[in-house]
Chains A and B, each alone.
Chain A
Amino acid sequence: NAGVTQTPKFQVLKTGQSMTLQCAQDMNHEYMSWYRQDPGMGLRLIHYSVGAGITDQGEVPNGYNVSRSTTEDFPLRLLSAAPSQTSVYFCASTMYPGANVLTFGAGSRLTVL
């Protein structure tokens, strides 16, 4: 099993550009989520999904869109990148809401110039 796979690992964007961070899991997990990690601020929840076709906002959703068309994939879209979105992004999943143990991907480092 690959677990949670994130691509790309590194990305540099210019302000205003758009891009999609990909997240895929092969564990048949119902719950998937996106966090951003900034120095001194820990991990903050951006968006999450409790199953295919269901998404909801987390603590810091502004500037990000998500969709969940399949159980396996949960892409994060930046429609118009801003320097404030420079961060390391982590996708995480768990079997079902309430299963508790999050499995994280290796992260995607995004720099917005």
Chain B
Amino acid sequence: GENVEQHPSTLSVQEGDSAVIKCTYSDSASNYFPWYKQELGKGPQLIIDIRSNVGEKKDQRIAVTLNKTAKHFSLHITETQPEDSAVYFCAASISNYGQNFVFGPGTRLSVLP
């Protein structure tokens, strides 16, 4: 089955700097890769996603890149702000197949003022 690894497990950056979180997956059939943000005491919330037919996607300060050959994808956050502090999860799934995701272990991002 699918296995998703995520690095680093914790990340501290200064406000205004960039943050990068990397994930690798094992199943070449996976074709949908979302990123979820979990704030303290809340459920995860989708922030951006990418499909396997796209190499990069941007949404304001957030971008995701995908390398299908290497089976890895990354989340990039530019101009970080204190409200970006949270736990971030990457995930992989085979779209249109029951929507069952395999999540990475998470990265705790701290943005220091």
Contact = CB atoms under 8 A, between A and B. Distances in A.
A98 B97 CA distance: 6
B99 A43 contact: no
B99 A100 contact: yes
Contacts, number: 73
A28 to B, nearest CB: 16
What's the interface size class on B, roughly?
Answer: 20 to 34
Contacts of B6: 42
A58 interface: yes
A113 interface: no
Interface stretch (A14-22, A65-73, A75-83, A103-111): A103-111
Given A41-B105, A42-B105, A43-B89, A99 B99 contact: yes
Interface of A: 4, 31, 33, 35, 40-45, 48, 50, 56, 58-59, 90, 92, 94, 97-102, 104-107
Interface of B: 1, 4, 6, 9, 32, 34, 36, 41-46, 49, 89, 91, 93, 95-106
